[in-house]
Amino acid sequence: MEKTMNLTLKVWRQTSANAKGHFETYKVENISGDSSFLEMMDILSEQLVEAGKEPVAFDHDCREGICGMCSMTINGIPHGPEKATTTCQLHMRHFHDGQTITIEPFRAKPFPVLKDLMVDRSAFDRIIQSGGFITARAGSGVDANAIPIPKKTADYAMDAAACIGCGACVAACPNASAMLFTGAKVSHMNSLPQGKAEKHRRALAMVTTMDGEGFGGCTNIGECEAACPKSISLDMIAQLNRDYATAQVKNFFQPVS
Amino acid sequence: MNLDSKIPEGPLAEKWSSHKFNMKLVNPANRRKYHVIVVGSGLAGGAAAASLAEQGYKVSCFCYQDSPRRAHSIAAQGGINAAKNYQNDGDSVQRLFYDTVKGGDYRSREANVYRLAEVSADIIDQCVANGVPFAREYGGLLANRSFGGAQVSRTFYARGQTGQQLLLGAYAALSRQIGLGNVKMHNRHELLDVVKVEGHAKGIIVRNMVSGEVSRHAGDCVVLATGGYGNVFFLSTNAQGCNVTAAYRAHKRGAGFANPCYTQIHPTCIPVHGDKQSKLTLMSESLRNDGRVWTPMDAETAKQIREGRLDPNQLPEADRDYFLERKYPSFGNLAPRDISSRAAKEACDEGRGVAATGLGVFLDFRDAIKRDGQKAIEERYGNLFEMYRCITGDNPYETPMMIFPAVHYTMGGLWVDYNLESTIPGMFVGGEANFSDHGANRLGASALMQGLADGYFVLPYTVGNYLGEQGVAAAGKVTTDHPAFAEVEADVKARINKLLSINGTETPRSFHKRLGQIIWNQCGMARSKEGLEGAIRDLQELRKEFWSNLKVVGGADGINPELERAGRVADFIEFGELMCRDALMREESCGGHFRVEHQTEEGEALRDDENYAFVGVWEYLGDDVEPNLHKEPLIYENVKLATRSYK
Ligand SMILES: Cc1cc2nc3c(=O)[nH]c(=O)nc-3n(C[C@H](O)[C@H](O)[C@H](O)COP(=O)(O)OP(=O)(O)OC[C@H]3O[C@@H](n4cnc5c(N)ncnc54)[C@H](O)[C@@H]3O)c2cc1C
Ligand code: FES
């Protein structure tokens, strides 16, 4: 027989953005170790609905660790205790019978709570809109092999581009800094030859937007890297700092627009 | 219903370029007077919205996720095809065209497929220009792999995250246009209906999924790129929110639905573990390049393995049946998806399945590891092995992986002509939501190609042509004050209220599961007349129960995931019936559609070109009225119809 577990859940409930939230305690039973954390939340939801109560609202979509939609802070850690794992890919076999699990939304000022465990992460989109792109109109690309890109460069760009934009880095950071997210995006594009033309403009614009959205500064604590479900490295922050510093100097002498 | 496919005259290879030349252009200064509504921000919608805005049109884009970057295109793993012939292995536009028509089991439109192959090379150029970090060789040039049964290496990839990287490219282009104010993005908005004015699509009604507000949006035309309907099966590899609502609502307003029964069951997914499961996870097909698929020769041994009494590694070679290698010696483990899935099902039907449920077969890397070393295998598939371990708790380097087929892609969709325009004028459909390019079976790495072809290179032309034909005097003329908007909005609100006021006892999820069971059993990998007729009755019964015993907690205002699911399930139930009708009508086996009555003595699919070489297009006539079938004949001038053999 498969081993199942009974759990106590302390879940953050908040009816809307402006309402005051609080923890509620629920019990779920016979949870299979093969269930994902979100499947466990589904079971809780069905239980609540059957009792005529509103289910817990949480964000999710792909359930395979790639869309970046799921969030939740589980026992104090964004996406829970397993390293390099999103909440949807966290499986219940990592918990034990009788355990109490605390479940909260990602907490950070720039990510206001919408309801229960759902937060608004649109500030990330606005950072990208300000400069996180390479300007290349459809149809204007030259032959894809015209510019050879060393494998090492392509691999580095890919390491950076693996970011899923979930916001765990911000939720993990005591300053609610978005440097890992922004650093990853800037490193991805600035390291590629196609991205060089807009390199300085990109770094300046994205950092300005990031600051304007109310994300805090980076004080090199490293919680972001530890919480990142895609193991994005702190090197990306170093690269952003370098690119941003150069851009500022250039901008001082001749505005990079 | 007029099914004029509008295929341009002239030789196949010149159709698209001469059509482009003949299309109307809109003067750049006039473009900003037009407003285009794009629903969907996946590869098709995201690329279309960005490209139309680049051309100067005003665009509004909608998606149900909290950011356009999360559309389900993000989950594609394996890669994207393009006829670049960078490997000098004999690829060409002609060959990609031919492979796609053959792969689709001769049920797609030649002209569309040829255009797809033709623009495929431009897609790669565009993606690289946008910064997509495709895999490269040491010399700095792009790497390719062979994928999904192709005999040339034409698949471009970015580790196991190709869809993610392509979507992030389109998202970046879209974001740039949002930042410039050319696109207005509406995240967390769900399309609930479309609005027609004088027969043309001129707007949509959406619900803000945060505030609950229902609002009207008017445009000069509407592009739907809302993805596939695989979630009709409840369990699939689709994201939780994937739905048929947008396409089905358009269908109910007059858009013909083509080939709804053509669905693709992907052979390499992680087997189901229990009844609380919410989704199935795909393991990239690239694994079949090195993994060998097998089950035990006999049912008794399989039982011992299932019960944990026998370690599969201990099973001698003679007791293993490498059934794909046995049945299809020239393609072996790389046989196409429909064929591989069916073979796995057969083995399990014979009681030879593994996994606790008996619904699983092995995908074994033992020999590959022996041959190339664990390190090489790790380099090729490390992230996939890790994903498998994370989900199942098993280590595939030591015990063979277990896989089972799962619903993955839907070839059917809204009928479109060569311009990707549906039977509702002014309503264009791109990506997985249309039926256009894959016939009865899609080849691996061809959906990403089609999504971006539609979005970057087809819709920007054909939408412009439609707007040009309407004339600049018509631009922006229809507003949300038109009575048609009030009417449809009232319908939408009434439906929401109805869902909330049934006050029954069964949850939307429970109905969804029951629906999935019916469809999987009767309209899945094997279909029969009797089964389908039964399914249609069951679905009608289920629909009645749904509307009399549904329980939706919460209200219409604000975030309400139960209400969202209820609306989607309501459409899926009706749509499921249409699928079954289509499957029942099609008295042949082709691609993903296998009718048990139509098979050869060896159990292979038996196509009937004489009577069924057509696109089946359904016209909606009313809730309790049988839909009308229309046929678009498929004419093959360039490819000779042949029996698809992979032996
Ligand atoms: C796990 C997996 C792996 C795959 N791997 C590959 C691969 O390797 N190669 C390949 O070629 N193909 C692959 N495919 C198929 C391919 O990814 C999809 O067919 C393709 O990405 C679909 O793109 P799309 O733009 O049509 O739709 P999607 O990317 O699904 O986008 C749909 C959009 O429509 C929006 N939407 C939907 N409904 C509504 C509504 N009612 N209201 C408002 N907005 C709505 C969504 O928010 C989203 O923005 C894979 C598919 C899956 C599921
Ligand atoms: S739901 Fe997509 S990453 Fe978790």
List, for residues B553-599, the tens digit of each pLDDT value.
Answer: 999 999 999 999 999 999 999 999 999 999 999 999 999 999 999 99
Taking contacts as CB-CB distances below 8 angstroms, the residues of chain B near A212 are none
- How many domains does chain B divide into? 1
pLDDT at residue B79 tops 80: yes
User: Distance (Å, rounded) from C-alpha B122 to C-alpha B150?
Assistant: 20
Q: Report the distance separating Cα B283 and Cα B363, nearest Å.
A: 11
B337 is catalytic: yes
* Residue B380: pLDDT over 70: yes
**SS3 labels along B431-477:** HHHECCCCCCCCCCCCHHHHHHHHHHHHHHHHHHHHHHHHCHHHCCC
In this predicted structure, what is the pLDDT of residue A1? 43
Question: Among A101-105, A189-193, B147-151, B153-157, whose mean pLDDT is lowest?
Answer: B147-151
Those of residues 191-220 in B touching chain A at CB distance below 8 A are 210
- What pLDDT, on a 0 to 100 scale, did the predictor assign at position B222? 98
Model confidence at A206: pLDDT above 90: yes
From the list B70, B216, B288, B337, the catalytic residue is: B337
CB contact under 8 A, A158 and B165: yes
- Which percentage of chain B shows pLDDT scores above 90? 92
Q: B287 in a domain, yes or no?
A: yes
| CB-defined site of ligand 2, < 6 Å | A 60-63, 65-70, 86-88
Residue B627's Cβ-side half-sphere holds a number of Cα atoms within 13 Å equal to 27
B172 pLDDT band, cuts 50/70/90, is very high
Atom in ligand 2 nearest the alpha carbon of residue A89: 4
- CATH (domain of B360): 3.90.700.10
- What pLDDT digit, counting tens, does each position of B315-357 carry? 999 999 999 999 999 889 988 888 899 999 999 999 999 998 8
Nearest residue, CB atoms, B74 vs list A42, A55, A62: A62
Round the average pLDDT of chain A to a whole number and report it.
Answer: 96
- B147 pLDDT band, cuts 50/70/90, is confident
**Structure confidence by residue, pLDDT tens digits, B234-250:** 999 999 999 999 999 99
Residue B373 CB partners (closer than 8 Å, separation 6+) = none
Q: What's the whole-number mean pLDDT along residues B9-27?
A: 97
Q: How confident is the model at residue A257 (pLDDT cuts 50, 70, 90)?
A: low
B59 at interface of A, judged by CB pairs closer than 8 A: no
Residue B19 belongs to a domain: no
Work out the average pLDDT over A56-78: 97
Which residues in chain A touch residue B65, judged by CB atoms under 8 angstroms apart? 61, 67, 69
The pLDDT score that the predictor gives to residue B297 is 97
Residue B325, domain member (yes or no): yes
Mean pLDDT of the B7-33 span? 97
In a domain, B311, yes or no: yes
Residue B645 has pLDDT above 80, yes or no: no
Statement: residue B646 has pLDDT above 50: yes
Helix (H) or strand (E) holding A112: none
Phi first, then psi: what are they for B180, rounded to 5°? -80, -5
**B138·A93 Cβ contact <8 A:** no
Instruction: Express as a percent the part of chain B with pLDDT over 70.
Output: 100
Cβ-based burial of A106 (10 A; exposed 0-12, middle 13-18, buried ≥19)? buried
> B557: which chain A residues are within 8 Å (Cβ-Cβ)?
none
Owning domain of residue B302:
265-408
Q: Hey, are the CB atoms on A145 and B86 less than 8 Å from each other?
A: yes
Distance between CA atoms of B581 and B259, rounded to whole angstroms? 10
User: Does the distance separating the beta carbons of B69 and A68 come in below 8 Å?
Assistant: yes
A91 pLDDT more than 90 = yes
Which CATH number among 3.40.50.300, 3.10.20.30, 3.40.30.10, 2.90.10.10 corresponds to the domain A4-115?
3.10.20.30
Res. A2 pLDDT band, cuts 50 70 90:
low
**Domain assignment present for B564:** no
Picking from B477, B113, B71, B77, the residue whose alpha carbon sits closest to that of residue B246 is B71
pLDDT in tens, A131-184: 999 999 999 999 999 999 999 999 999 999 999 999 999 999 999 999 999 999
- Stated pTM of the model: 0.97
Tell me, yes or no, whether B453 lies in a domain: no
Q: What is the mean pLDDT of chain B?
A: 96
Question: What is the mean predicted confidence (pLDDT) over A193-197?
Answer: 97
User: A121-252 is classed in which CATH architecture?
Assistant: Orthogonal Bundle (1.10)
SS3 B644: coil
Query: Which run of H or E residues covers position B130?
Result: none
What is the number of alpha carbons within 13 Å of residue B164 lying toward its C-beta? 22
What is the domain partition of chain A in residue ranges?
Answer: 4-115, 121-252
DSSP collapsed to 3 states, B367-406:
HHHHHHCHHHHHHHHHHHHHHHHHHHCCCCCCCCEEEEEE
Nearest bound ligand to the CA of residue A69: 2
pLDDT surpassing 60 at residue A42: yes
pLDDT single digits (tens) B455-485: 999 999 999 999 999 999 999 999 999 999 9
User: How many other C-beta atoms can be found within 10 angstroms of the C-beta atom of residue A151?
Assistant: 16
The lowest-confidence range among A214-228, B190-204, B279-293, B499-513 is: B279-293
